[in-house]
Amino acid sequence: METARTVPAATVVNLRDLGGIALGRDRRVRQGVLFRSGQLSELAPDHDRAVAALGIRTVVDLRTADERRWAPDRLPARARLFVADVLGDHPGVAPARLKALLADPDEADRALGGGRAEELFAETYRKMVLSPGAAAAYRAFVETVADPAARPVLFHCTAGKDRTGWAAAVLLMILGASRETVRADFLAVNPAVRAAFAPYVQKFLDGGGDPAVAAAIVEVRPRYLDVALDAMDERWGGLDGYVRTGLRLPEAVLDRLREGLVIGGRRSADRRAERARSDAPVWL
C-alpha cells in the first residue's frame, strides 16, 4: 500500500512527502506540497540540499513550549514558522518527553514497566483527539495547510510520529484516504524513528533498561492509532463529526484543502456544483 515517500535529508529526521498516497477513485495526494518530519533543530539550511529543494514556505511546529525552547527549529530559507501546540494542555505527557523517558532506565522501569508505557502513549492519543487545546491546534494546522499561500508546508513534532502521525491521519482522511491507507502510512515511520533514536535506546539498554519499554516509547503501534480513531468515533460519530464539530472546520476550508492537495478524479469545483444543484429549490 502506498505510503509517504522518504526525502533523503541529511539533517532532518524522518522527512517524508505525503504526495502520491492513494485516495481511491484514481485520486492521489499532490506531490511536493505537504511534508512531515521530526524536529528541525539540527537542520543546516544552507547545506542540506534535499530540504532546500522542497521550497518550504511554512513550518508548522506541533511541539510544546518547553520542547521549542530546548530544541528550537532552524527554518529553511524564506520559510515562516507557525506554532500549533497540540499538547499545551498536557505538556508533561509522553510524546513531549521521549529522550527524558530513555535517560533513566531504573525510573523508566518503575514508572513504565509491565505494559504501562504502551498504556501511557495510548492515553496520550486519546488526549490528542479529545483535548480542547489539541482540537484548536489541529484546526489551526488544517487551516494553514488549506491556505495556498502557505504551501509547501512542513509539519513536525519531536520524532515525527505521534502528534505528527495523527495530523497526517486527519489530513489523509479528510482528503478521502481509507483507514487502511492511513494505518499503513502511520506505521511506515517506524524504521526511520528507530534509526534516529538508536543511540538513546542503546544507552538505555546498556544501563539495564527494559527493551519492551524502549520499544513502546520509540515506536508507533497499531493500538495507538486505534485508540485515537475510537475516541473520534465515540465522541463525534466518525470523521465528519470530528472535523465539523470537534475541529469546527468550515466547508470552505475543506474545499480549499481538497482543491489544493488532491489530483485526479473529480475536482472539488465539480462536487460543489453538484451540491448546489441538489440544494436548489424544486418549482412545481
* For residue 210, pLDDT beyond 60: yes
- CA-to-CA distance for 113 and 108, rounded, in angstroms? 7
The candidate with the shortest Cα–Cα distance to 63, out of 142, 145, 128, is 128
Higher pLDDT among residues 113 and 242, named by residue: 242
Structure confidence by residue, pLDDT tens digits, 64-105: 998 999 999 999 999 999 999 999 887 666 665 777 778 888
How far CA 252 is from CA of 17, 170, 263, 268, in Å, comes to: 25, 17, 18, 11
16 forms bridges with which residues in the sheet?
A: 6, 36
* For residue 282, pLDDT beyond 60: no
So what's the pLDDT on residue 268?
A: 47
Burial of residue 149 (number of CB atoms within 10 Å: 0-12, 13-18, 19+)? exposed
So what's the pLDDT on residue 206?
A: 94
Structure confidence by residue, pLDDT tens digits, 129-163: 999 999 999 999 999 999 999 999 999 999 999 99
Q: 173, 225 in Cβ contact below 8 A?
A: no
The candidate with the shortest Cα–Cα distance to 236, out of 227, 247, 225, is 247
Higher pLDDT among residues 2 and 207, named by residue: 207
Task: Enter the C-alpha cell of residue 269.
Answer: 469545483
